[in-house]
Structure 1
Amino acid sequence: MKMVGVSIDAGYIFNQKMEIVFVNEKFVSIMGYEIGELEKLKLSNVIHNDFNIHDECIELMVRELKLTKYWHGEVWKKRKNGEVFPTWLSIYPILSENNVDNFYIVQFHETSQHLTYLPRLDYQFRKAHFAGNIEIYYQPIFDIKTGQPVCLEALIRNNCNSLRMVNIETQISNIEISGYIVNLDKWVIEQVLKVSEKIKDEYEVDVNFSINISSKLFVNNMISFSSWLGTMLTKYNVNPKNIELEVTERLLITNAELALEEFDKLKRMGVILSIDDFGMGYSSFNYLKKYKFDKLKVDKVFLEEYKGEENLEIVHGITNMAHALGLQVIIEGVEKQSQLNKVKEFSCDYVQGYYLDKAMLIEDFLKKYFRKNIKD
């Protein structure tokens, strides 16, 4: 079915699902309950401006936006069995008058709250990902004593022209809201494991990798994250001790029991656990004891924004307390020699920052530190 010439009819309010009805080349009807005119208008703009309605884009909406699609034959069958779609009752007169039988209904499974965030930025990120424009860069983390890189943190870069001016943190926040972060996190983890396997085969060494993961990955009802990760580690023959997962305190606050259960499984597997951005919210040393983290990462804001001696002493205090609890400490955001000199006084374990080295493609890291390219 080719969709052209689309007009929006948002005059129907039914049930607790939002539905879009695609009818031949005639019209698209948006229906919903407590959707609100503003949300409908936004969705209307998305359909017109972003999806450029045609079969492939409709399929993308169905697959990636968690929709259910019913062809006209299925609707007829459900109607015959007494399962009447409110949508069907409303558009039936229009279809009858125009002798239309080629249509289908798409139902959203999201609430109207989520529909606000459906649009352009989220769609463009997904499109960039499908097109291969999302790359993983790796920033080294250095041993404070030896000055040698001991771990690589995987960081996302979006090379899509339409999103170059959008901060990557903003992009990540947006796909966290939509839920696509789960897809991205799993993709990143698998790409990192592939790289780890290749390096081990080529150089006969194990490289440690640090991966940021979202709380959404833990609360996905469709999978057990620890189980899935175990399967991936086996598939790519990667030692769990070479993988470090960075989680933020948001996960600990909103999903405490589940986090504790999953962390226990991950720890038993041998995976390293690190709490990221410590000191930026409700972080507490109680978390560190309760969840048995291996490492603590002090947020770069302490070096970035605060210049006073008092604030640097906060970093010193965090380092001492973490060491007392048996954790290793990483201080990120080291951008100049004076900062490096200062954190050395704090006896932290690891440092990271542009002054030491920037994030780079894995091939560039290998050229610089291994002086040999990885085989394709």
Structure 2
Amino acid sequence: MLAIKSSIIAIIMILLLLWVKNRNIIKPVNRLNKSINGIDIERHLGYRLPLTESDTFFGVASSINNILDKTSSYFYELKENQEKLQSSNEEISATYQQLAASEEELRAQYDEIQSYTEKLESLRQKYEIAIEGTNSAVWEFDMEDENIYFLEGFKNIIGRATKEKENIYTTLKKFLSLKDEEKLIKEIVKYIRGEKEEIHIQVKITDIFGNLKWLLIRGKGIFDSNNDIKLINGIVLDITSMKGQEEYISHIAYHDPLTGLPNRRKLMQKLEEDIVESNYGAVMLLDLDNFKGINDTLGHLYGDKVLKKIAEELENIKDEKVFVSRFGGDEFFILVQGEKDIDVIENYAKQIMNIFKNKIIIEGEETYLSCSMGITLYPFHSNEVSQLLMNADMAMYKVKNLGKNNYMFFKEEMTEKLQEKMKIEGILRNALKKEELKLLYQPQVCTFTGKIVGFEALLRLKNKHISPGQFIPVAEETGLIVEIGRWVTKESINQISKWKKKGLDIKPISINFSPKQLNDLNYIKFLENTLKEANVEAKYIEIEITESIFLEEKEKNIAFINKLKSLGIQILLDDFGTGYSSLNYLTFLPVDKIKLDKSLNDKFLEFENVKVIDSLIFLAKSLNLEVIAEGIEDVVQYKRLKAAGCHYIQGYLFSKPLEVEDAEKIYDDNFLDKISHDQL
């Protein structure tokens, strides 16, 4: 029992001890542990452990709080030092960055200086090359002591060394002529006075070898603080070679390459200068007669040699008053300068004409030439270059029209004729635009039946009293005949088409063909297309040509006519008997008919001369050619032509040229019925 009590007491004591232990040790330890876990210096630097004096671990908690106080103090001090350190680091970083930027800037400046150094070296080398390559020299003129310094290259120009410093006037006298010396001094003075922006002048010198050299001198001033010129720096450039090239180019520009004579440009320049300086003189235009025939028969190379020979002959009569030039082609202009005596001027003209009295022999070939020359005087006829050239041209063409191989002075009435020609040209151009051209139709009548066998289309101007004899030559000269020729061709073909549509018996229309139309390279194609569009057969178109077509480029023109014939076109030789060698032409020309000219009929249809006509008609028939006599106005002529066997008659005996409406009215008439049997 006692043992049980002792055990119970022991248990109670143990439990009591455990309670005391729990109260005084375990719970305080847990509280202390919890408090310690609440410490967070980073987030809550002011945190402290709660203190209870009765607490078993009061002393421990107090010690921990003391540690926390010191830690907090150290932390604040550390933070303050950290901020100071960070500030110092930032200052150091900024300083470093500044140093780095300065280093970069210094490096860039160094690179830039290095680049400038390289560029300066390159420029120095280029400068030396330029000085040597251009054969130039650098100079400097001191305004105070009037000394000139030659820095580079002058030795190469003059052929000897010079003093580095020398009085400018001594230098100028040494190398320049008096004229060029004065010219250069004037140039410098003008620059100093501000009259020029720079010194820029060309002068001539003679080097030690006696060679003439051209120098270009350029310079500009260096100004002091008072804006006064202190120094003048510049360059002397040897331009001798360039001057030679300029002279060569100028010679080419102002001279004819074939003859070496001054050309058109030089002539006009010379004439303009002489009109101002001399005030009077003469202009002569020389044009070779029939020179194209020489080119065509003997060749262009031979023709060129003839031109050179003529140029030499003209040069032989040249004196201080005479200026000879080649204007182009076979035209030469001669100026007689400063002369107003007509007899003297005419004497020069006669000397020129005498050149052509003798034969010209080139490569064994003998050639005879003639020329036509027009002469105009200044200021008597004009003071304008263009007008003087035109005057000489008009006078020259007047000589051509009168038979060539002569000279003539310009007359004012020639201008009136030129103005009339220009007026007619304007009318023709306007007529082409506004369809103011028309065709009249003159019947061609069979000599034996009296019936119309065809018509000749004759060009007229509507509402204008200008005859074909006036406007056709103008059309020829201006080239309008090409366009007019096409109009006549198309109008004639269209008229045949209209007659065809009316059911009339188609009669051919003959149209006149100018030599100028041979230059219309597309005419044959145009003719072919026009016939096709109008549905007209080529055999109803007859083309009248004259012998003049074959005077130049004979083979080429015959080939052209043969192309026309290949289309089926009939070819008539017009104005037969008025040309150069009509009978000879008949043996080779591709013609189908000949047309006896009115002048031939008037001359040889007289009773005593009628055998000439008989012979011509007989010859034509023997060559299988048909004959038309034009300009027949009386029955006597008709009867004689009929007796000679002439095929067709055209003329006022039967009908004048008619409007198309009137032509249609007599379309099927028999003209023999209109002539009395007594007359026949």
TM category (shorter chain) comes to 0.5 to 0.7
Map Cα deviations across residues 147-174 of structure 1 (whole Å, 9 max, x no partner). 100001000122344xx1x431231011
Equivalent residue runs for 1:253-292 within 5 Å? 253-292=551-590
1:145 to 435, 444, 448: 448
Is residue 233 of structure 1 aligned with residue 531 of structure 2?
A: yes
CA contact (8 A) 2:445 2:452 kept: yes
Report which of the two structures shows the higher radius of gyration computed on alpha carbons.
2
CA contact (8 A) 1:273 1:295 kept: yes
Once the 2 structures are TM-superposed, how far is the Cα of residue 230 of structure 1 from its aligned partner?
1.2
Map Cα deviations across residues 33-91 of structure 1 (whole Å, 9 max, x no partner). 9873245699xxxxxxxxxxxxxxxxxxxxxxxxxxxxxxxxxxxxxxxxxxxxxxxxx
SS at 1:291's partner residue? coil
Instruction: Name the CA distance, whole Å, in 1 between partners of 2:267 and 2:517.
Output: 27
Residues 1:316 and 1:232: Cα distance change in structure 2 (over 3 Å) = same
SS at 1:119's partner residue? helix
Residues 1:208 and 1:130: Cα distance change in structure 2 (over 3 Å) = same
Map Cα deviations across residues 334-372 of structure 1 (whole Å, 9 max, x no partner). 10111111111110111111011111011111123259x
Is residue 37 of structure 1 aligned with residue 335 of structure 2?
A: no
- 2:425 counterpart residue number: 122
Is residue 176 of structure 1 aligned with residue 476 of structure 2?
A: yes
Q: Residue type matched to 2:478 in 1?
A: S
More divergent stretch after superposition (126-135 vs 272-281): 126-135
- 1:299 counterpart residue number: 597
Once the 2 structures are TM-superposed, how far is the Cα of residue 305 of structure 1 from its aligned partner?
4.8
Instruction: Name the CA distance, whole Å, in 2 between partners of 1:40 and 1:286.
Output: 39
- 1:61 counterpart residue number: none
SS at 1:290's partner residue? coil
Instruction: Name the CA distance, whole Å, in 2 between partners of 1:196 and 1:209.
Output: 8
Q: Residue type matched to 2:522 in 1?
A: S
SS at 1:289's partner residue? coil
Q: CA RMSD in A?
A: 2.8
- 2:630 counterpart residue number: 332
Residues 1:219 and 1:310: Cα distance change in structure 2 (over 3 Å) = farther
CA contact (8 A) 1:218 1:224 kept: no
- 1:156 counterpart residue number: 459
Is residue 322 of structure 1 aligned with residue 625 of structure 2?
A: no
Equivalent residue runs for 1:24-63 within 5 Å? 36-38=386-388
CA contact (8 A) 2:604 2:612 kept: no
Instruction: Name the CA distance, whole Å, in 1 between partners of 2:592 and 2:267.
Output: 45
Is residue 216 of structure 1 aligned with residue 516 of structure 2?
A: yes
Q: Which structure carries more helix by proportion?
A: 2
Q: Residue type matched to 2:518 in 1?
A: F
Equivalent residue runs for 1:57-72 within 5 Å? none
1:207 to 483, 489, 507: 507
Gaps of 5+ in 1: 1-12, 18-32, 43-114, 372-376
CA contact (8 A) 1:117 1:177 kept: no
TM-score of the two chains, using structure 1 as the length reference: 0.65
Instruction: Name the CA distance, whole Å, in 2 between partners of 1:298 and 1:154.
Output: 17
Map Cα deviations across residues 117-165 of structure 1 (whole Å, 9 max, x no partner). 972222222223433332100000011111100001000122344xx1x
- 2:105 counterpart residue number: none
Instruction: Name the CA distance, whole Å, in 2 between partners of 1:179 and 1:159.
Output: 21
Instruction: Name the CA distance, whole Å, in 1 between partners of 2:438 and 2:468.
Output: 12
- 1:91 counterpart residue number: none
- 1:364 counterpart residue number: 662
Residues 1:345 and 1:236: Cα distance change in structure 2 (over 3 Å) = same
Instruction: Name the CA distance, whole Å, in 2 between partners of 1:297 and 1:158.
Output: 25
Q: Residue type matched to 1:190 in 2?
A: K
Once the 2 structures are TM-superposed, how far is the Cα of residue 255 of structure 1 from its aligned partner?
3.1
- 1:78 counterpart residue number: none
SS at 2:574's partner residue? strand
SS at 1:369's partner residue? coil
Q: Residue type matched to 2:492 in 1?
A: V
TM-score of the two chains, using structure 2 as the length reference: 0.37
Gaps of 5+ in 2: 1-263, 269-326, 328-332, 334-384, 393-417, 670-680
Q: Residue type matched to 1:173 in 2?
A: P
Once the 2 structures are TM-superposed, how far is the Cα of residue 306 of structure 1 from its aligned partner?
5.3
Paired residues in the alignment total 268
SS at 2:621's partner residue? helix
Instruction: Name the CA distance, whole Å, in 2 between partners of 1:305 and 1:133.
Output: 37
Residues 1:336 and 1:41: Cα distance change in structure 2 (over 3 Å) = closer
Map Cα deviations across residues 282-308 of structure 1 (whole Å, 9 max, x no partner). 142332221221000000112335564
Instruction: Name the CA distance, whole Å, in 1 between partners of 2:504 and 2:637.
Output: 35
- 1:312 counterpart residue number: 610
